[in-house]
Chains A and B, each alone.
Chain A
């Protein structure tokens, strides 16, 4: 296994008396995709937000390329520039066009010139199947198109790792496929990813490893065929059985 891009060690986070993460350990190696599965409220989103320093952790540490990023002395802004986060609800900027959404970070966070950023932004839109949509506002795009713009926006900063927070959960069922297709392409290009997801068949197909999170701990970690098909822990079995009963697998 190559060098780890992300190393999460003993990360703990509580909101008031509500302990969401209880010492999470997880490693994502270069070019690897790790799927993070678990019920709603198990702490998947919080973990991703902690890694991107949108939420300050209480204990433990996160390392990016071997450097600690969660130390209170670390400036979060340059760290966030090396990571990409895609939100469940897209969180596109509604007052900007699709292209401007992508260009904003390149220009102001990465110091690209306007022409340079627009040129790159157009290429990204093309690559995510959004050619010709550059001047449209998020409201005029379908959910699937919006989420692909959000993927392009997160990818525009050439991040070391992409963090995907249930990127298909807010989509109508018929639009899920196009977004998963885009993520699949990223994986094929070797983009390092940590993917919180409810799409088990997708996790099985794309992920190199699957981590099962419950009550703020990683209870099981291994290959998709192991964790998703023949899990060891009773909690994992119960979780998968519930999904099966709900027709989600």
Chain B
């Protein structure tokens, strides 16, 4: 072909080539998926211990027997998760606001909240649950909670508030200083600028990382089981230690996935679309 008889009128040809390329890509993806996933499944199924594993982890009859009880106990996980989450969002915001404030009078609070974040973010959650769960009742002070559900909730709130405070703080810090200038220039006070201009933008921006922490919290609710709270994991553990069959734990894992996978998809959609502006 010479330059003069060039490229007009070849739209259909180009479209067809594009479609061929797309079809070939799909075919390659399908074949490689079958090979890789099939290979891994075959490896597990042909392993010498598979019949044993199948009976102790994936027994349909054990699943049918245990799942209703595990699911009922999982309702407690959901309730705890919802209450703790709200508490975390509030406490985290308060800590973040104190840490980003500049008023001289707030210095002692700023210091305390810096220590709060360092300590509660730095201690493993499981130790925190132990210390709060067994330490506070040991004080024998009247008026303090003794219910392990509440104590476990407090421990998780402390730990996650420290994380969430830092997420908020990063969000506040990421708002361009021109926004504060503009807010002050129209005559708003520092507080009004924060309330109407900085925070609404900061909170929108940190949505995806906050959801990420929600997912993590949703799983860590299982840690309150060490205080004797019978939630899904503990219930499954009790069942499996009496039947010598771990299928109940697999059932509990499925229940967690039922919550965390939708949350993950929400993170994806929010992270890649919703906060574009």
Contacts and interface: CB of A to CB of B under 8 A. Distances in A.
Interface string B171-192: 0000000110111111111001
Given A94-B277, A95-B201, A104 B186 contact: yes
B274 to A, nearest CB: 13
Contact of A95 (B182, B184, B188, B204): B204
Contact of B185 (A85, A89, A95): A85
A154 B186 CA distance: 6
B186 A153 contact: yes
B201 A80 contact: no
A120 to B, nearest CB: 14
B178 A108 contact: no
A77 B187 contact: yes
Contact of B178 (A91, A110, A137): A91
A184 interface: no
B200 interface: yes
* Interface core residue of B187, B201, B277 (most chain A CB under 10 Å): B187
Contact of A93 (B184, B187, B197, B204): B197
Nearest to B276: A139
A77 B184 CA distance: 7
B187 A154 contact: no
Contacts of A54: 181, 184-185
Contacts of B197: 93, 104
B196 interface: yes
Contacts of A105: 186-188
B179 A91 contact: yes
Contacts of B196: 104, 108
Contacts of B200: 95
Contacts of A94: 201, 277
A229 interface: no
Nearest to B178: A91
Contacts, number: 65
Given A91-B178, A95-B200, A137-B277, A52 B185 contact: yes
Contacts of B179: 91, 93
Number of chain B interface residues as a range = 10 to 19
A92 B182 contact: yes
Contact of A109 (B178, B187, B201, B204): B187
Interface residues of A, number: 29
Contacts of B184: 54, 76-77, 80
Contacts of B201: 93-95
Nearest to A163: B185
A153 B179 CA distance: 13
Nearest to B203: A95
A108 B189 CA distance: 9
Contact of A157 (B183, B187, B192): B187
A109 B188 contact: yes
A110 B197 CA distance: 17
Contacts of A87: 178, 181-182, 185
Interface string A69-90: 0000000111011011101010
Contacts of A92: 182
A108 B277 contact: no
29 contacts: A49-B181, A54-B185, A77-B184, A77-B188, A78-B187, A80-B184, A80-B186, A80-B187, A81-B187, A83-B185, A84-B185, A85-B185, A89-B178, A91-B179, A92-B182, A93-B197, A94-B201, A94-B277, A104-B183, A104-B196, A105-B186, A105-B187, A105-B188, A109-B186, A109-B192, A110-B187, A139-B277, A153-B186, A154-B186
Interface of A: 49, 52, 54, 76-78, 80-81, 83-85, 87, 89, 91-95, 104-105, 108-110, 137, 139, 153-154, 156-157
Interface of B: 178-179, 181-189, 192, 196-197, 200-201, 204, 277
Given A76-B184, A84-B186, A91-B179, 14 more contacts: A49-B181, A52-B185, A77-B184, A77-B189, A80-B184, A80-B185, A83-B185, A91-B181, A93-B182, A95-B200, A104-B196, A104-B197, A108-B196, A157-B187
Closest 4 A/B residue pairs (Cβ): A109-B187, A105-B186, A81-B187, A91-B182
